[in-house]
Amino acid sequence: MKTHPFKPILDSQTQGMLIGTLPPDTAPFYYSNSRNTRLWDLLYSVKNNLREITKGSNELSEKEKIDLLYSMNLGMCDMIYTYDRKKENSVQDSDIIPMSYLDVAKTIRNTNVSTLYFVYKNSAKWFLHALKSKSPVSCNSLHYDIKDGHFADVWLNDKPMRCILLPSPLSRGRKGETLAVKLEVYRKFLQLHI
């Protein structure tokens, strides 16, 4: 059994949490394992109100990435806390064998978080499953009908939370979902906190 390699990132000013699934075991930091993972490029472009998506933001230092999040009043964590994998060094969520979920309510307690942003549909599925206090299961076993954008409102720590599914930050996307389209969706939802 392995434990998630990174601590959640947030401070007292955090208003929105970006929630993923689990990084590959070789990732040096959240969303930094590949040039094809464009989350940092998307965030940098939103923060700086750029019309084009920058390249290479995954190479920013860990401190620069954390500073970028904080400048946008965002935090970051993943749903899977302890786990194993069907295949060593796999990057596929379907190969994750979750042992425990991150306690999102505990993680964001005593913060100003009011919106949870899921960057992968599987992270949203695992979150909804965790709310039922059930034992973790493979993402392939979960059947939730989650739509892009605002898909649910939940109560955590006696506060309402908006749940938003953002487009996957990978370079590739569904048909017609270009990086430019993804940038506009990220801009629409994330600029609320800047």
Q: What is the pLDDT of residue 194?
A: 63
> What is the DSSP code (8-state) at residue 168?
P
Concatenate the DSSP letters of all residues of 47-116 into one string: HTT-SS--S-GGGS-HHHHHHHHHHTTEEEEESEEEEEESSTT---GGGEEEEEE--HHHHHTTS---EE
β-pair type (159-165, 115-118): parallel
pLDDT, mean of residues 37-63? 93
> Rounded to whole angstroms, how far apart are CA atoms 79 and 23?
11
Q: If you average pLDDT over residues 94-116, what whole number do you get?
A: 95
Strand order in the sheet with 159-165: 74-78, 16-20, 115-118, 159-165, 149-156
The predicted model gives 1-18 an average pLDDT of 95
Q: What tokens were used for 40?
A: 């940092």
Residue 159: enclosing H or E segment and its boundaries?
strand 159-165
CATH assignment at residue 98: 3.40.470.10
The predicted pLDDT at position 182 comes to 94
> How high is the mean pLDDT of the chain?
93
pLDDT surpassing 80 at residue 21 = yes
Q: Please answer whether residues 118 and 131 qualify as being in contact, where contact means their C-beta atoms are separated by less than 8 angstroms.
A: no
Domain, as residue range, for 179 = 2-190
165 and 121 in contact (C-beta within 8 Å)?
yes
How many domains does one find in the chain? Answer: 1
Rounded Cα gap, residues 152 and 162, in angstroms:
6
157-169: pLDDT as tens digits: 999 999 999 999 9
